[in-house]
Structure 1
Amino acid sequence: MVKIAMVAGQVNPLLGHGAHADAPPQGLHVHLAELSSALAGAGHEVVVYTRREDRDDPDRISAPGGYEVVQVPAGPPSPLRPDETASAMGEFGSFLDREWRQRPPDITHAHYWLSGLATQLATRSLGIPTVQTFHSLGTVEHRIREKTAMDASARDRIRLERLLARGATRMIATSSDEVFELARMGLPRTRTTVVPSGVDAVHYSTAAAPDTTRTRKHRLLAAGPLELGSGFDIAIEALAGIPDTELIIAAHPAPPYLSRRADEQEKSRLVKLARVRGVQGRVRIRRDVGRDEMPGLLLSADTVVSTPWHDPSGMLALQAMSCGRPVIATASGGMLDTVLDEATGLLVPTRSPEAVAAAARRLLSDATTRATFGIAGRDRVLARYTWDRVAEDTLRAYERCVPVRRTAHRTARTGVQ
């Protein structure tokens, strides 16, 4: 058994288990919850340290997945934006130092760069190995904004990410693309292990009941947060070149630190764009789509479209593949690994409505190819992207830092009876 300390100052894994009704259906909350559950199910002791956001919440919570959540009093007990959370990391790190002097883990695993700050502050004098996963890199986020000038906070983040990568015992990247980015930052590739995100192949399966409210012959589905970088505008512009097809945009609930007004502004922008492109009658935006609704929506689509500016995890593609649906995805980030071009879907250039339209016309005109891609996608998920498989890969990365004694592993959650 390995004693694992997960550090996630901005992410409460209980949201991933649906402890809150407005929890987003994907993202770091789900990643942390599912990975912690799988590691605990494999017989390891897992404690997750997250920042307290409600003064009435208990200090320690036993999560449904068999791990413990410690809510660290650092900063105000309320949701904070990422830039606001940075000021609380010194206090967070001091708590970890006190905690680990009394209750030392065998290994720590920091998620996101801010958590890495707190973790390395605590471990530098304790001699505890530290694994770091960024999930998203400041260099990439700045690059996808193209001509936007780099402000002081962005420069600080990039500088600190370099220091954290060098200071960590080992890096875990979520994609091959991230390995190359870390190498550009000066980190030897030999110090990095690729462990992708996973998907709950039972929840996202072909057994779910599909949504049947179709108004056109074909349906495309896009999903994600209602924000500019999600690339919904690319899908809307592509729709103008795809006849007799509707587009459903499944918008996830916004994080609590964002105002409802931001959602409304982005929705208004998309509605206006659909009107300008002459497809307003074929675009439907569904707000606050939760985790339970997603499988049915995925199964209702002929093809799933994932066109964000950048997606480190390829989560929507994984969900679609798990449900046996082909994917049209931008060739960037985690989707370069997740989607096998011409096997489980089609990869297209970023921000290219013309390429999306051409790919959609091809797939929508060929039911056999759609079915073949869908079967291959489901098989790929079961072989590579279940959370138990992700936990096994994570443990192999830990083994590069500390001895890991294997225990009886539970049956993988694949949905296969």
Structure 2
Amino acid sequence: MLSVHTSPLHQPGTGDAGGMNVYMVELSRALAREGARVDLFTRCLGEDRPARVELASGVRVLHLAAGPRRPLPKEAMPGLVPDFARSLLAATAHSRYDVVHSHYWLAGQAGARVAGRRHIPLVHTMHTLARVKNASLAPGDRPEPELRVRGEAALARAADRLIANTVEEQVALRELYGADADRTDVVTPGVDVRIFRPADGRRAARARLGLPQDGFIPLFAGRIQPLKGPDVLLHSVAALLRDSPGLRGRLLVPVVGGLSGAGTRLPDELRDLGARLGLGDVVRFQAAAPQRELADWYRAADVLVMPSRSESFGLVALESQACGTPVLAAAVGGLPAAVRDEVTGLLVPGHDPDDYARRLRWFAEHPARAAAMGRAAAGHARRLDWRSTARGTLGSYARALRDRSSKAGQERRHVPAPAAASSRRCKRAAVPA
């Protein structure tokens, strides 16, 4: 497995680490439990981590030299792809792999080069799509570059198999990128119900986190960037208090996560917005939390709010539901697949704060019905586990190997290199075979 721009070891909810990081880690562990051996290759960032990290039995994270050993913005990453591919070829010169599975378009570019040289199939998961994101940008947000659009289109043609999280993503790949539906497999992500579960309930979770037992607590959890819509949440809370001022005394809105993407350009923007809206006594900003603590935040909340402008699936929604907490989410991307409208949560068409405010008021005024949604949510999430995801992924690998075998001797489809200059290469790290 390949990830160029973010490491499976990074804390989700910070920087470029999010659902994709969780996906790679949990899928790899589940694949290993099904009998596979998985090596996750990522870029060395000079974080004093060893060249090889044993993530689980049968799963290793291997760090490759590609450019300077420090974090870089995504905009600089295309120039590192050739270096990453060369390091990967050197590190795997004496190893045998059956499949290359790349995550996000940057890793796909490197994966295509390596899979071609090794004569093994390339399976690719996009995770997000530039054309989908660009169609739903927040005001003032930067569109994804044309270089990425072209890179994704090339991968849609070149990968032996594409894995989409939902049928909606499969359709977007076909309609926006010309991907062949016969080479696109829909494999739904899962949730770790050993960590994300109702456990000892809301009161105990609130006690551990120091939250008021009688509070009404809508939660935001995830990376703080315009794409995730935290500004929509704050405007919604302001509208809620305008129409229901009596809620102020018991309303608390935790925002759990770190700055990411466009959010890092104006790091105080969300806090400043909260202050301008008069929410300084209501909104509490919390750093991104490890999974076991994050599960307590889900359990403690009355509802998780996800006003995302784009979402390939929304693992956060699944985690919250697994903890018995319903979800109020935008009806975009994969969220309608993750959340059963009016059963495990409520879906909102669009991003009008007044629409979210009305639904937040419903959760505040109907705690018994919201609790019933939470119970249904926990049952819904239990049926979506990583074992099923791993088995679906293994099926995609098998089809890729079968298709590759049937095309033996044919010239592999070509993926053009990104049109950017390569950054200065750092000293290569020794990677054990």
TM-score, normalised to structure 1, is 0.85
Corresponding residue number in structure 2 for 1:409: none
The 1-side partners of 2:288 and 2:377 are apart by 27
Select between 329-338 and 216-225 the one with higher mean Cα deviation: 216-225
Indicate how the Cα distance of structure 1 residues 55 and 351 shifts in structure 2: closer, same or farther if over 3 A, else same: closer
One-letter amino acid of the structure 2 residue matched with residue 371 of structure 1: A
Corresponding residue number in structure 2 for 1:381: 381
One-letter amino acid of the structure 1 residue matched with residue 43 of structure 2: R
1:263 corresponds to 2:267: yes
Q: Secondary structure at the match of 2:26?
A: helix
Contact 1:235 1:307 in 2 (8 A): yes
The 1-side partners of 2:325 and 2:15 are apart by 24
Residue from 70, 91, 108 that aligns with 2:100: 108
The 1-side partners of 2:229 and 2:139 are apart by 17
Shift of 1:114: 0.2
Q: Secondary structure at the match of 2:291?
A: coil
Corresponding residue number in structure 2 for 1:297: 297
Corresponding residue number in structure 1 for 2:357: 357
The 2-side partners of 1:25 and 1:319 are apart by 16
1:12-411, aligned counterparts within 5 Å? 12-15=7-10, 26-54=18-46, 56-145=48-137, 154-184=145-175, 185-207=177-199, 209-212=204-207, 213-214=211-212, 217-239=215-237, 240-241=239-240, 243=244, 244=247, 246-254=251-259, 262-272=266-276, 274-275=277-278, 279-384=279-384, 386-402=385-401
Q: CA RMSD in A?
A: 2.7
The 2-side partners of 1:247 and 1:179 are apart by 38
One-letter amino acid of the structure 2 residue matched with residue 129 of structure 1: P
Contact 1:248 1:286 in 2 (8 A): no
Shift of 1:258: 9.0
TM-score, normalised to structure 2, is 0.82
Shift of 1:331: 0.3
One-letter amino acid of the structure 1 residue matched with residue 235 of structure 2: E
Q: Secondary structure at the match of 1:356?
A: helix
Q: Secondary structure at the match of 1:117?
A: helix
Shift of 1:202: 1.5
Q: Which runs of 5+ in 2 are unaligned?
A: 403-433
Shift of 1:69: 1.5
Shift of 1:224: 1.7
Shift of 1:266: 3.0
The 2-side partners of 1:123 and 1:295 are apart by 38
Q: C-alpha deviations, 1:284-317, integer Å up to 9, x for none?
A: 2223444332222211221111112112121221
Contact 1:52 1:72 in 2 (8 A): yes
Indicate how the Cα distance of structure 1 residues 375 and 259 shifts in structure 2: closer, same or farther if over 3 A, else same: closer
The 2-side partners of 1:357 and 1:55 are apart by 43
Q: C-alpha deviations, 1:349-377, integer Å up to 9, x for none?
A: 13121221222222332233212211221
How many matched pairs? 388
Which has the bigger relative contact order, CA under 8 A and spacing at least 6?
2
Shift of 1:324: 0.5
Identity %: 28
The 1-side partners of 2:84 and 2:222 are apart by 30
Contact 2:141 2:226 in 1 (8 A): no
One-letter amino acid of the structure 1 residue matched with residue 318 of structure 2: L
Shift of 1:148: 6.7
The 2-side partners of 1:231 and 1:318 are apart by 18
The 2-side partners of 1:237 and 1:161 are apart by 34
Contact 2:195 2:291 in 1 (8 A): no
The 1-side partners of 2:47 and 2:230 are apart by 37
Indicate how the Cα distance of structure 1 residues 288 and 125 shifts in structure 2: closer, same or farther if over 3 A, else same: closer
